[in-house]
Amino acid sequence: MPLAGTKTRKSPLPLYFDNLAALDTWRATVAGPIDHSEGVLKFIARKLRPADSVGKGKLLVSHDFKGGYVEDPFSKSYTFNWWSSTEHFNYFSHRRITIPPPEWITAAHRAGTTMLGTIIFEGGSELDMLRMLMGKVPGINTASEVETQANSTLPLTPYYAELLANIAAERGFDGYLLNIEIGLGRGAEQARVLAAWITILQAEMIKKVGPHAQTIWYDSVTIRGELWWQDRLNSANLPFFLNSTGIFTNYWWYNDAPGKEVVYFNNLDPNLTGQTQDPHPQVIKHTVQDIYVGIDVWGRGSHGGGGFGSYRALDHIAPQTLGLSCALFAQGWTWETEENNPGWNWDSFWNYDSSLWVGPASGTVTVPPLQIKGGETPCTHGPFTPLATYFPHLPPPEPYDLPFYTNFSPGIGDSWFVEGQKVWQSVRGWTDMDKQTLVGDLIWPRPKVTRLDSRTDAVPIGITKLNMADAWNGGNSIRITLSIPGSSNAYSALWVPIQTLNLTSRRKYEAAAVYKAPTLANAETEFALGLRTAAGADLMTIVTSSTIDLANGWQKAVVQFEITTPAAGGQVLTQGQLGLIVAVVLKNPSPAVELPFLVGQLAVYPYVPDSYTEYDLVQHWIYFEPDSATTPLNGTLNFEVAVAFDPVPEITITDPEDPRVPWHLQPTKPWFPKFLYFNVYAQQLPGGAGSTPGPLTWIGTTTYINVGDKKTFYVLQDNLPYSSGQRRYDFKVQPVLETGEVYPAWVSFSSVSVLGGASVEELEEGEPQAESSAASSAETESVQEPLAQADMEKKPKRKSSVTSMLNPLNRLKVKGDKADKGDGASTK
């Protein structure tokens, strides 16, 4: 996804479970814990300076949006883009067990945000709650049997805690919001058992998911088992808070509640909160930042009225001073309340949504009237303040832990581009959170342009727009327009920061920016990559730099650099702003000049010496597996990627004491290439004498949505290009590395024919062929080398002679009673 056509495969795994019996039924079909998170980006924690986090409240966003699971891959849907303010994201629905969609997990993890599912019990689920605590009992399935089994003292088992932790580990998410909105029939006895169950769940989560795992309690049930929302942390919900990693308080609180919570927490016994001088061996350590004060963006009971009045509630929560955190519920209000307005579209949503989070690009925001609830202390508030203002900018993971890459995708688009060329235009647009990247935390609502020259006149004004009409890779770029005022001085050197990053001194990085600038009649321009502090100090010690002309008018600036080492020496985590230096020379400086330019891609990643990259990527094998004989063109395209090393030089080592190594070694740390996705192409082959092959057509990208592994692609006949004649196809696969580098497409030599209702897969080994060549009929599977064809301008970094090395690895499977040679997968 994105995917050409109008159909896609349903998830092969359950998206949610409506009750625990459904979970047990599904689990019975699975042989033990299985990792289904192959295509999901693993969580990597942000590295933060103390100034970024200590004593400052965090943001939990709870995504209650139309019941959940409503994203439409074939139109532009709601997406969330404010990850740089968000510590935790909770995918919420009213299903018993809500499992976050894999594409949302990847989007959150790319930014360093944890993703939480939901465990919810609402009216009518009392017996299912007993089942969760007691565990699965053989032979007991009905409600009455559960009630009978629980007639004695309520037993507690770890069965469902273990199972739910397994689900999180297998699907790749990081914890649960626990929303128990029913009264507990056993009163305080059941409340105690429930609180104890939470500790088992958290222990299992830490064991199976990692130390970052979260179990956050929603303020609902009290110590007496009553459903009675407290709207704050107090003695009625204290055990549930202490046994979890945090509490999400209900949002009907009065404006004095945040201050009372801080006082209450500070008066707790340090042995309960783990705030002892030495680490407490039996309890989770808690701080005031673990209290997430609830705000309902719909305004139901929330101080300030919700919506654009939500900032008033944040004034009282005061994350930067009191240190309380915030749980923001149903932030999709910006979509749901506006979507039916005349003329509304996705651009309208973006302007509305971004105004709530980062403020409007121009003008002011109208806020709802302040209504003081009965019993509240009268208070006043200033004009609208964007929500992100209350929280620190949280950079994505350090690029040595996870290479930083963005093409500024908000997770939607109208078309798809590969290296500046549009390869597909949709009818209604597309949505895919798996393809979402950070949109730049320093360019909204406007870029903060400053001067690097010595001029004292007005600083140019910048405007940022998402540009769906042109892109380098993916669905969009960003368009930044600088309005340079007229002046007697012809030269300007401007700094345009784009994204906050935390990097480490005494490490070598490489950064790349892909951009496109117009030719102006009255100006000459030059662009360079930069990294500066918020105060404007240069952080780059440049080792090498270059600018490369790319296809379709794009250019690429590449810099190898180190972070300027602080005077104290050693490795120090430093926060910088990655952006562009724009030099402008006006031929006639008097009139004002508009300078629009596009930024298509930014990437920062560890510098790797050439000696570690003496290989080419090759397609190791590929085969097509049809769903059935009746639908031979519906099925899964499976492939594997390998590396082929350069030829080994002549070995001259003869002395056993010789300390040299015979070839350049690979790093002992992870080095095998990783991929953002693969572009997949199809070409209809000639169906008879005189016919010609169809054009090479992009049919989609790999993603977890299709199958669950980024090296598979689900093919639907209805989505394939077709002109006339016999349906026979070649497929080609094009890898996109995690740094954004696009490799040439590989010829797959895998074609599927429909002959009299039968399915024949044709796989041909040999040299790469031109687009017009057809695969010959042979039931074999072959290793191939990279495609080198005229319409793919980018070549591999180095060309090695891999054919002779790879031929002995060819796989061959023959149907029926013929000999089975090799261990490749059989053709269908």
Mean pLDDT value of segment 33-62: 88
- DSSP-H helix ranges across 209-332: 238-243, 257-266, 270-273, 310-317
Q: Which of 106, 107, 117 is nearest to 42 (CA)?
A: 106
pLDDT above 60: residue 793: no
Looking at this protein, which amino acid is placed at residue 611? S
Q: Is residue 60 a contact partner of residue 88, using CB atoms and an 8 Å limit?
A: yes
Q: Which residue has the tokens 């972070």?
A: 563
* Cα(293)–Cα(309) distance, integer angstroms: 16
Q: CB-based contacts of 342: which residues, under 8 Å, 6+ apart?
A: none
The pLDDT confidence band at residue 743, using thresholds 50, 70 and 90, is confident
Looking at this protein, which amino acid is placed at residue 501? L
Q: Which of 439, 421, 479, 468 is nearest to 679 (CA)?
A: 421
Q: Is residue 98 a contact partner of residue 178, using CB atoms and an 8 Å limit?
A: no
Q: Is residue 429 a contact partner of residue 75, using CB atoms and an 8 Å limit?
A: yes
Pull the structure tokens for residue 60. 């939990």
Mean pLDDT value of segment 219-225: 98
Name the DSSP letter for residue 142.
S
* Cα(149)–Cα(136) distance, integer angstroms: 11
The pLDDT confidence band at residue 148, using thresholds 50, 70 and 90, is low
Bridge-based pairing state of the strands 325-329 and 59-64: parallel
Q: Give pLDDT tens digits for 318-335.
A: 999 999 999 999 999 999
pLDDT above 70: residue 131: yes
- CA-CA distances (angstroms) from residue 315 to 171, 250, 385, 389? 37, 17, 9, 11
The pLDDT confidence band at residue 8, using thresholds 50, 70 and 90, is confident
Residue 792's Cα: distance from chain center in Å?
28
pLDDT value at residue 104: 97
Which range is least confidently modeled, 99-108, 358-367, 711-720?
711-720
Q: What are phi and psi of 167, to 5 degrees?
A: -60, -45
Q: Give pLDDT tens digits for 591-612.
A: 888 999 999 999 999 999 999 9
* Cα(117)–Cα(125) distance, integer angstroms: 18
Which range is least confidently modeled, 88-97, 146-155, 174-183, 718-727?
146-155
Alpha carbon distance, N-terminus to C-terminus of the chain = 25
Mean pLDDT value of segment 718-740: 89
Pull the structure tokens for residue 136. 């699965």
CA 361, 364, 369 angle in degrees (round to 5)?
140
* Cα(27)–Cα(62) distance, integer angstroms: 27
Mean pLDDT value of segment 620-640: 88
Looking at this protein, which amino acid is placed at residue 128? D
Cα-only R_g, the chain: 29
pLDDT value at residue 149: 64
| pTM for the model | 0.90
pLDDT above 70: residue 18: yes
* Cα(219)–Cα(177) distance, integer angstroms: 11
pLDDT value at residue 522: 85
More confident residue, 724 or 765: 724
- Cα-Cα-Cα-Cα torsion 760, 765, 771, 777, nearest 10 degrees, comes to -30
pLDDT value at residue 568: 62
Which range is least confidently modeled, 4-13, 652-661, 786-795, 802-811?
802-811
pLDDT above 70: residue 567: no
* Cα(666)–Cα(719) distance, integer angstroms: 41
pLDDT value at residue 51: 82
pLDDT above 60: residue 271: yes
The pLDDT confidence band at residue 7, using thresholds 50, 70 and 90, is confident
Q: Give pLDDT tens digits for 202-221.
A: 999 999 999 999 999 999 99
DSSP string, 646-701: PPPPPP----TT----SSPPPPSS--S--EEEEEEEEEEPP-STT------EEEEE
Residue 704's Cα: distance from chain center in Å?
12
Percent of the chain having pLDDT more than 70? 86
Q: Is residue 197 a contact partner of residue 135, using CB atoms and an 8 Å limit?
A: no
pLDDT value at residue 187: 96
Q: Which of 609, 654, 619 is nearest to 750 (CA)?
A: 619
CB-CB neighbours of 355 under 10 Å: 20
The pLDDT confidence band at residue 777, using thresholds 50, 70 and 90, is very low
Average pLDDT, the chain: 86
Do you know the residue count of the chain? Answer: 828
Q: Is residue 404 a contact partner of residue 602, using CB atoms and an 8 Å limit?
A: yes
pLDDT value at residue 814: 22
